[in-house]
Amino acid sequence: MAEGVCSRKRAKIVVVALIIVCIVAASIGLIVYLSDKGNDKSSKDSAKSNGPEPIFRLPANVVPLHYELQWTPDIYRADPANFRLSGNVVIRMLCKEVTSLIIMHAVGLDISRDGMNVTSLNNGVTAPTVKVRFC
């Protein structure tokens, strides 16, 4: 009788292990598929024909040091499709060299032009914002 109980436990463990392995393999396959989906040849060829691809990364001379995020979700709306999220962010950056360009990535967010400023931590002076462009 004890052998039957042990073999049932082993069978359950093997089945659970196989299910976990299948889930992990499917997840990895899905991640690989989705990450390669945007890298097809036609999108690369069209980017080459339209000129050089713009570089939207932080320059090496601007290094983010600390982010302070404050999010306020409005989850009590009657229609979930109208879900709103508001918030503030303070980003402390080290500027290794003088620069006239800082690129902020915020895909899918509405940013207030009036709420953006660059202030020195050394003397509190706010730099003039010459141009703010949202892409």
pLDDT for res 27: 82
Same structural domain for residues 35 and 86? Answer: no
Between strands 84-95 and 118-119, the pairing is unpaired
Same structural domain for residues 122 and 94? Answer: yes
Same structural domain for residues 90 and 115? Answer: yes
pLDDT for res 3: 60
Q: Is residue 14 part of a domain?
A: yes
Long-range contacts from 118-121, C-beta under 8 angstroms, 24+ separation:
121/92
Q: Is residue 133 part of a domain?
A: no
Range of the domain at 74: 62-127
Tokens representing residue 92 in the block: 């402390």
Q: Is residue 20 part of a domain?
A: yes
Distance CA 120, CA 131 (A): 18
Query: Which element (helix H / strand E) includes 18?
Result: helix 2-37
Distance CA 39, CA 7 (A): 48
Asked if 88 contacts 70 with a C-beta cutoff of 8 angstroms, the reply is yes
pLDDT for res 105: 73
- Measuring CA to CA, which residue among 31, 32, 90, 94 is closest to residue 58? 94
Q: Is residue 55 part of a domain?
A: no
Q: Is residue 93 part of a domain?
A: yes
pLDDT along the chain (135 residues), means of 10: 68 85 83 66 53 67 87 76 80 83 74 76 78 65
Same structural domain for residues 15 and 36? Answer: yes
pLDDT for res 58: 66
Counting the structural domains of the chain, the total is: 2
Same structural domain for residues 43 and 98? Answer: no
Using alpha carbons only, what angle is made at residue 58 by residues 101 and 85, rounded to the nearest 5 degrees?
A: 95
- Phi/psi at 85 (5° precision): -140, 125
pLDDT for res 55: 63
